[in-house]
Amino acid sequence: MNPNKALWEKGDFTQIAATMRESGEALIDDLGIGAGMDVLDLGCGDGTTAVPAARRGANVTGIDIAANLVAAGNARAAQAGLANLRFQEGDASHLEQVPDDSFDRVVSIFGAMFAPRPHDVAREMVRVTRPGGRIVMGNWIPGDPTLVAQILKISAAYTPPPPEGFISPVTWGMEDVVRERFGLAGVAAENVGCERASYVFRHPGPPTDLLDTFRLYYGPTMNAFEAAAQKGLADQLRDELAALFEAQNQGGANSTVIPATYLKVIVQA
């Protein structure tokens, strides 16, 4: 199996996505997505941004590599009565089922950044965006002190080294790298904008509960705990992550509100 597909089908990202819904709604509001627009949500999960885009009247296609997330997204769309939203399997590095110039907006929030061939991802996003359209990415930032970048950093310390040729997903959080990738895809540097923004994780319980959600359902963290357990270090990893979650929580002892900084990329096609 494709290793990236295996990673995201391993857990159940819907459990994480449930803590991110409010920020997904706010992002779609900020992008001005509305009725009649054709929108692609790439690496969409179960629709944290696809569902609110469809509720605003856009015609939305969600593509994700994980079959379980595609099924969950289609179930959410059906439950919400959103006939203008459909989810399908696909690889952000090779959107073979998507014609050129198909979408007014291509959105990928913490999705396409994990695809293994980033230059192909940039080229494909540009290819399927209509002239005058816009690409919007949200990417975690390497070395950032906030939650998700630190989860990925801590988890990596407990897992085996990646294979030769591996390109870290968080390189998508580096402005110069982003501009280079879109430049090679034919986008002028002045048409690539980057700014820092926040996504907020919310959970109606203590931060250690949210940590357990990541431990049980988030592929990278699941891999880290499995590797740590083989070395007798699972408790050490949990203690390290628990300290992180508790230090960053802004919601009090029995409520979790943790903002995480990301790089918001806006590309004018």
DSSP state of 162: P
Work out the angle between the directed axes of helices 234-248 and 219-230 (0-180°, nearest 10): 140
CATH class of 3-143+162-203+261-268: alpha beta
| H or E element in which residue 61 lies | strand 59-64
Tens-digit pLDDT string for the chain (269 aa): 688 999 999 999 999 999 999 999 999 999 989 999 999 999 999 999 999 999 999 999 999 999 999 999 999 999 999 999 999 999 999 999 999 999 999 999 999 999 999 999 999 999 999 999 999 999 999 999 999 999 999 999 999 998 889 999 999 999 999 999 999 999 999 999 999 999 999 999 999 999 999 999 999 999 999 999 999 999 999 999 999 999 999 998 899 999 999 999 999 99
Among candidates 132, 75, 139, 148, which has minimal Cα distance to 107?
139
pLDDT number for residue 22: 95
Q: Between helices 67-80 and 3-10, what is the axis angle to 10°?
A: 50
| Per-residue confidence (pLDDT) for residue 2, from 0 to 100 | 85
Q: Please give the pLDDT value at position 169.
A: 96
**In angstroms, rounded to a whole number, what is the distance separating the alpha carbons of residues 207 and 220?**
19
Domain boundaries, the chain: 3-143+162-203+261-268
Facing residues of 200 across strands? 259
List, as one string, the DSSP characters of 101-136: T-EEEEEEESSGGGSS-HHHHHHHHHHHEEEEEEEE
